[in-house]
Structure 1
Amino acid sequence: MNNFIFENATKAYFGKGCVKEYLASEVNKYGNNVMIAYGRGSIKKNGIYDEVIGILTDEGKNVIEFTGIMPNPTYEKVLEGAALAIDNHVDVIIGIGGGSVMDCCKAVSLAAVSKEDIWDSFWAKKGVIDFEPLPLGVIVTVAGTGSEMNGGAVITNEKLKIKTGRDYPKCNPKFALLDPEYTYSVPKSQMISGGFDILSHIMEIYFSEPNEDNVSDDISEALMKSVIRNLRASIENPNDYVSRSNLLWASTMAENRIIKLGKKMDFEAHQIEHQLGAFTDCNHGQGLAVISPVYYRHIYMYGLPKFVRFAKNVWDINVEGKTEDKLAREGVEALADFIKEIGLPTTLKGLGIMDKEILKPVAKSCNISMGSYKKMTHEEILQILEECFE
């Protein structure tokens, strides 16, 4: 394996009732001014809001609410949250929701303390955080991004039409509360979209060097099989605790940095989808479902041994009488078939994107992943997007 340094400062509480059992002790480590942040109000319909507010009220906390965080959080929304935190002398932020809420809160925790423009200093380019962001805890309601145990945050600058992710260990949540039953209330379509996002994270780490035997790839194969199996079970029965709990922890494992150790990583499919989202505000997991098979058809021959492993070890494809090229292609097509099986869109038109003219500016604005088996060009990215169109 390649050399690495591992760091993860987030304390995770996992399982039924963990919010009721541990939230009070965690927030009591900080002051009395607690800002809770959430999206467009679904937590008020499913009882999560009432439970959290009840705990905070019982502890005598002054609660400030930061609401309306959108699925692709914007820099403008981050600045709104930072201003609210500063004006109310917030001591700790509690983000309640999925990846968008968690990502937004990480950026807010930075912006509420930094004296710099955080887009220019920390998102437009990789910066150095030599100060302590505002403490952050998260309560996860959607399995997908794995944002609960890393410092990563994807933010959209609407004016520039750029969607960028950065991962700063200083922005790791101090604690994460993961109750699988909190994910039950998510609509099935959102659960499926989040499930594919988990699979995509693992694939983009797996399909990169090194190719020789390594622990990270072994864990990734087990996780991919688990996600496929448990996503199918969760679609069959959305209230199946075993499958929902497995999906939630697989989401965390995909992005808590463990399987990234020693890997180059190729997040080109994510780069393409991020810019597609910046131009269209499309659903992240659905966008990845459209892009991933097409992208892998373009690169599989450059990482042939790994794609053969994927076919054999993840999809259990019979190897008898088949060339490595045929096996690798069958693995990619098994992925494409799974996307159809679980009801995700397979074209950009199916995603609701009808304007083919945006594909050129989307392709031109994409970052190029240095971890890909095949280094992309903007011209080939445009070709991929055109193949995805219909």
Structure 2
Amino acid sequence: MEDFQWMVPTEFVFGHGAEERIGNWVAHHDFAKALLIYGKTHAVKSGLVATIHGSLDNAGVEHVDMGGVRPNPEVSFVRNAIQTARDKEIDIVIAIGGGSVIDTCKAVAAGVLYDGDVWDLFKRPEPVAVSRSLPVVSVLTIPAAGSEASDSCVISNDALGLKSALHGDFIRCKAAFMDPELTLSLPAWQTFAGITDMCVHIFERFFSQTGDVPVSDGIALSLLRSIRSAALVLLRDPSNYDARATIMWASTLAHNGICGVGRVEDWASHGMEHELSAAKPEVTHGAGLAVIVPAWMRFVYHENPQRFAQLGREVFGLGPTSSVEADAQATIDAVQHFFCAIGMPRYLDEFGFTRDDVDALLPSLQLNKGATFGSFKRLSIEDARTIYLSAFKPKAC
């Protein structure tokens, strides 16, 4: 078990009508003027933005709106929002949405207090280090990214064809308002892509060469069992409140750091997927992970097949055989079967990628991750090329 330092400063307000309490929270903490950031249509059409307006108005908190955040959020929106926040003398940023919106708000909050261009904080290989931001609170509508409690945000730069992250406890949300009822109207695709993302957040921590960390491992495996069980319920009954609540809270715990306490984390799969959604912003992050992660698993499992076999036994209920190698392979098949069963893609072809596209992904992958990356197995850029190629449909004989 590794030494660690971990903090989660986020206050969680969870349950029915949680979003209606945001105005009193903001006023109680002496904030006067909020910048509300949300996506393109749903938050407005659903009436959620109006509910937030009413809560803030009743508490005497001024507010300014900026809608239009896209999936895989882009730095040009962040720049515009930073200017608005400065012009309007904003003192708190409120995210209404999922990971893309919350990541945008984190970037805006950090950028407002930085004198240069916000992309400086994301550029590779040498981002500018900062340690302060405006406070951010979130009203979560899409359980997936875990950004409501994580120490990171990811932003794309379309002009450069890059997607990069900013990390630090200083950008963690001060509060997260989480009402599972807000997720009842989510399309199946968003629901299950989000479930895939939260599973992989746990995998990135569980697959490590640190050795046994019984407390963290137990939390990780319990979360994965809960997520899988709730996902299967939602396949049959999308309006099941308890399953929605389970998924929402599990998403938070999957990425607030608790599953990685005491161990070295991996993050190779996320790095490889980010190149896919940087090249094609229409690629949903969770869907890209559904393809990349099994391909990564098949490439690396020889490093510690026992670890994969443990996942198979404790999450998927697979019985042991006389071969731990076979058990590991069966686990990987079970992971991919689960992703496909909830509607996720199996091959990169399904996004419109071809084998000829792979080499173009590698320079930015190296810029973001370095010449070698990952911890479960150190990967070279050529290894990454092999993994990408293995994620296409097999060629016909």
TM-score, normalized by length of structure 2?
0.93
- Measured against aligned partners, the alpha-carbon deviations of 1:199-237 in whole angstroms (never above 9, x if no partner) come to 011011101122224211111111111111111111211
Is the contact between residue 266 and residue 372 of structure 1 (CA under 8 Å) also seen in structure 2?
A: yes
Distance in 1 (alpha carbons) for counterparts of 2:295 and 2:270 = 13
- How far 1:62 moved relative to its partner? 2.4
1:235-384 equivalences in 2 (<5 Å): 235-281=235-281, 282-319=283-320, 321-350=321-350, 352-366=351-365, 367-368=369-370, 370-384=373-387
Say whether 1:209 aligns with 2:209: yes
Q: Which residue of 2 aligns with 1:104?
A: 104
Aligned to 1:56, the other structure's residue is in SS state: helix
- How far 1:87 moved relative to its partner? 0.9
Distance in 2 (alpha carbons) for counterparts of 1:92 and 1:375 = 41
- Measured against aligned partners, the alpha-carbon deviations of 1:174-210 in whole angstroms (never above 9, x if no partner) come to 1111111111122111001001101011011101122
Is the contact between residue 123 and residue 166 of structure 1 (CA under 8 Å) also seen in structure 2?
A: no
Is the contact between residue 192 and residue 235 of structure 1 (CA under 8 Å) also seen in structure 2?
A: no
Question: How many corresponding residue pairs?
Answer: 387
Distance in 1 (alpha carbons) for counterparts of 2:31 and 2:254 = 32
Distance in 2 (alpha carbons) for counterparts of 1:84 and 1:160 = 24
CA RMSD of aligned residues (A): 1.6
* Larger displacement relative to structure 2 (54-63 or 336-345): 54-63
Between the aligned residues of both structures, percent identity stands at 29
Q: Which residue of 2 aligns with 1:65?
A: 65
- How far 1:6 moved relative to its partner? 1.2
- How far 1:61 moved relative to its partner? 2.8
Distance in 1 (alpha carbons) for counterparts of 2:128 and 2:27 = 29
1:126-275 equivalences in 2 (<5 Å): 127-130=128-131, 132-275=132-275
1:9-28 equivalences in 2 (<5 Å): 9-28=9-28
Distance in 1 (alpha carbons) for counterparts of 2:28 and 2:185 = 28
Distance in 1 (alpha carbons) for counterparts of 2:280 and 2:364 = 14
- How far 1:15 moved relative to its partner? 1.0
Distance in 2 (alpha carbons) for counterparts of 1:103 and 1:137 = 11
Aligned to 2:96, the other structure's residue is in SS state: strand
- How far 1:21 moved relative to its partner? 3.1
Structure 1, unaligned runs of 5 or more:
none
Q: Which amino acid aligns with 2:187?
A: P
Is the contact between residue 39 and residue 68 of structure 1 (CA under 8 Å) also seen in structure 2?
A: yes
Q: Which residue of 1 aligns with 2:29?
A: 29
Q: Which amino acid aligns with 1:312?
A: R
Q: Which amino acid aligns with 1:378?
A: I
Aligned to 1:149, the other structure's residue is in SS state: coil
Aligned to 1:259, the other structure's residue is in SS state: helix
- Measured against aligned partners, the alpha-carbon deviations of 1:251-281 in whole angstroms (never above 9, x if no partner) come to 0001111111111111111000001111111
TM-score, normalized by length of structure 1?
0.95
Is the contact between residue 14 and residue 178 of structure 1 (CA under 8 Å) also seen in structure 2?
A: yes
Q: Which amino acid aligns with 1:293?
A: P
Say whether 1:92 aligns with 2:92: yes
Distance in 2 (alpha carbons) for counterparts of 1:372 and 1:161 = 26
Structure 2, unaligned runs of 5 or more:
none
Aligned to 1:349, the other structure's residue is in SS state: helix
Q: Which residue of 2 aligns with 1:4?
A: 4
- How far 1:162 moved relative to its partner? 1.4
Q: Which amino acid aligns with 2:292?
A: I
C-alpha distance 4-127 of structure 1, shift in aligned 2 (>3 A): farther
